[in-house]
Structure 1
Amino acid sequence: MNFERTSASKIAVNLPGATAVFFSHNINFCSQNQEPLGVAMQNRSADAERIYAELNNIIDRQEYIQEFDTWPKQQIIEYIFTRFHDVHRQQLPELIRLAERVETTHVDNKYCPVGLSQHLVQVQNELEEHMQKEENVLFPMLAQEHLSLPAGPIQVMKREHDDHLSLISTIFEITNDIQLHPDACNSWKALYLGLQAFINDIYMHIFIENNVLFVR
């Protein structure tokens, strides 16, 4: 596979284990954007040589992640509920609390992520509304094997996924790509560590829905 000329989303689907590499380098592999990986890495100033090496190492070691496409739909849905919906509802209130503390304490620091807490409230509200649509409407319909579901509701969810990814991009902008400065306090460190975990989770959440569940 020519990694440089292949989109991150296509690599993620065809090379189990590649998602872990993309996670660690903040490469978005969830959207339907067919931008080649080489271009995506240039846009994010990523270490291309290191990423290619890690992807090739996966091939060499035959490192595989859980093959969700072998699961029944109901098992995938239950996994999404417990692994992502429930977890996001725990993550965001704490991230908002930490962001408020950092912004209040370090407002005069040029590296302070001013506006982050307010932005995370928006993320929380929009994500909660989205998850409730899935839990109360779409997923119960998908769980019915005999039901022929129109493409419209799924396309709406995919568009909202793209909106979520745009919100994530703003987090990177506010936080300077979630890069800590040397004198960051423990709350600041905890905030950025939590943001990275949340972003990794939302990437995988969207990936499983778009590329596994909705494909069914």
Structure 2
Amino acid sequence: MNRPALQTPLTPRASASHGDVARLAAQLRERGGGPSWADIAEAIQLAQRVEARHARDPDRPVGLADHLAALSSRVHTLRVQEEHSLLPLLITGGRRALDLASRLMMSEHVDVEVLLLRLRELTRTYASRLGAAEDWCALSRLCNKLEADLRAHLRQEDEVLYAALLN
């Protein structure tokens, strides 16, 4: 699902007023972010099918379904943290709490980056082997999309919202 970019004049070097922060947090809450749950569920199902159907192929993405499930769990945990802790704090919180919350969430994003690197490794950078079945090719495309969606969301938060808070 395409989501509009955050509507904000802030840049990573800008100074954020409490009103700016509250507006950005409200926009994040409204628009959500990252990959859709439907895409994640579909990728897990496709990975299970590809791993089973191509069990004798040494190039199959072994362990991809489990990794996608772990990535899904991590993304869910981050969304819950953002929705129930960080975003309300950004809307109402004081400077010290905002700084701590921003640093915490940025460090959590590093953990997601590690999972994304492993996703690339398991999918051989989203390349299906020559002559691969359509389900395998579809899985590669979907995993590539998941990474792109998640990276775009992380970048919006890290480079716009959190960077503004930390300046």
**Common topology (TM > 0.5):** yes
Percent identity between matched residues is 23
Query: Partners in 2 of 1:105 and 1:155 — Cα distance?
Result: 43
Query: Partners in 1 of 2:9 and 2:150 — Cα distance?
Result: 21
| Matched residue, 1:129 | 77
Name stretches of at least 5 consecutive residues in structure 1 with no aligned partner: 1-64
Instruction: Tell me, yes or no, if the aligned pair for 2:128 and 2:140 is still in contact at 8 Å.
Output: yes
* 1:188 Cα offset (Å): 1.1
Name stretches of at least 5 consecutive residues in structure 2 with no aligned partner: 11-19
Over 3 Å counting, the alpha-carbon distance change for 1:186 and 1:73 in structure 2 is farther
Deviations 1:136-165 (CA, angstroms, capped at 9, x unpaired)? 010111123x73242222211111100000
1:183 counterpart (106, 111, 131): 131
Instruction: Tell me, yes or no, if the aligned pair for 1:115 and 1:174 is still in contact at 8 Å.
Output: yes
2:146 counterpart (198, 201, 204): 198
Deviations 1:54-100 (CA, angstroms, capped at 9, x unpaired)? xxxxxxxxxxx967542754554455443525x43222111101100
| Matched residue, 1:147 | 94
Query: Partners in 2 of 1:129 and 1:67 — Cα distance?
Result: 22
| Matched residue, 2:157 | 209
* 1:126 Cα offset (Å): 1.1
| Matched residue, 1:38 | none
1:114 maps onto 2:62 in alignment = yes
| Matched residue, 1:70 | 9
* 1:181 Cα offset (Å): 1.4
Aligned length: 150
Moved over 3 A (4+): 65-69, 71-81
Query: Partners in 1 of 2:163 and 2:76 — Cα distance?
Result: 23
Counterpart of 1:184, as a letter, is: A
Counterpart of 1:70, as a letter, is: P
Which structure has the higher relative contact order (CA within 8 Å, separation 6+)? Answer: 2
Query: Partners in 2 of 1:193 and 1:75 — Cα distance?
Result: 34
* 1:119 Cα offset (Å): 0.6
Deviations 1:17-68 (CA, angstroms, capped at 9, x unpaired)? xxxxxxxxxxxxxxxxxxxxxxxxxxxxxxxxxxxxxxxxxxxxxxxx9675
| Matched residue, 1:163 | 111
Task: Provide the secondary structure at the position in 1 that maps to 2:83.
Answer: helix
Instruction: Tell me, yes or no, if the aligned pair for 2:6 and 2:24 is still in contact at 8 Å.
Output: no
Over 3 Å counting, the alpha-carbon distance change for 1:75 and 1:196 in structure 2 is farther
